[in-house]
Amino acid sequence: MNPVERFILPHVNALYAMAFHLCGDRDAAEDMVQDTVVKAADSLPALRNPEKAKSWLFSILYRGFVDEWRRARKTVEYVDDAHTPSGQDDERLWPHDVTPEQARKAMERLDDKYRAPLVAHYLSGQSYQEIAETMGLPLGTVMSRIHRAKRALREELSAPAQPLRALKGGRYGM
């Protein structure tokens, strides 16, 4: 088995899932995964620890996404979140009559800086520490962004007429 088959191909489905949740477009997600696989294959000798291949691949994917987003971004509206008391992430606070389509649309409306760590944690199964390493962020920032993303989703899904606190703009809706 060659190194690409051994270290990259087993993670293609997980890469696609994360790419799709980041950009919300199937064709763009496929392009992102293809770019990631090509970059990873070219850089495979740089992989120091084969046990961290999945994290390494997610890092390549995320950095490519951010680079594209920066090239294509337009004005992003951001309303600073007021501090909320801790402990408000209780299951009882989540709306229970939300369809998968409503949840997907609310996720797409999140600013990428909030959506990316949320997707990495809940849909790709990465730990907060892995996300911090992959995205080059302090652990506390990852925790804060996931918390704010969940709060924005909760608000959006509880009162659909109200805008999200963290909005996005640009290419692919980024």
**pLDDT recorded at residue 163:** 45
Q: What is the pLDDT at residue 88? A: 44
Give the contacts of 135 (CB within 8 A, at least 6 positions apart).
59, 62, 116, 117, 120, 142
| Topology of the domain covering 3-72 | Rna Polymerase Sigma Factor; Chain: A (1.10.1740)
Residue 166 tokens, joined = 């963290």
CATH topology of domain 91-173: Arc Repressor Mutant, subunit A (1.10.10)
Instruction: Tell me the C-alpha distance between 93 and 139, whole Å.
Output: 25
Q: Parse the chain into domains and list their residue ranges.
A: 3-72, 91-173
Q: How far is CA 60 from CA 5, 20, 64, in A?
A: 17, 15, 6
Digitized pLDDT (tens) for each residue of the chain, 174 residues in all: 787 788 888 989 999 998 888 888 889 899 999 999 999 889 888 888 888 888 889 889 988 888 877 776 543 433 334 333 444 444 445 566 677 778 778 888 888 889 889 888 887 788 898 888 888 889 999 999 999 998 888 888 886 444 444 444 444 444
The pLDDT of residue 55 is 87
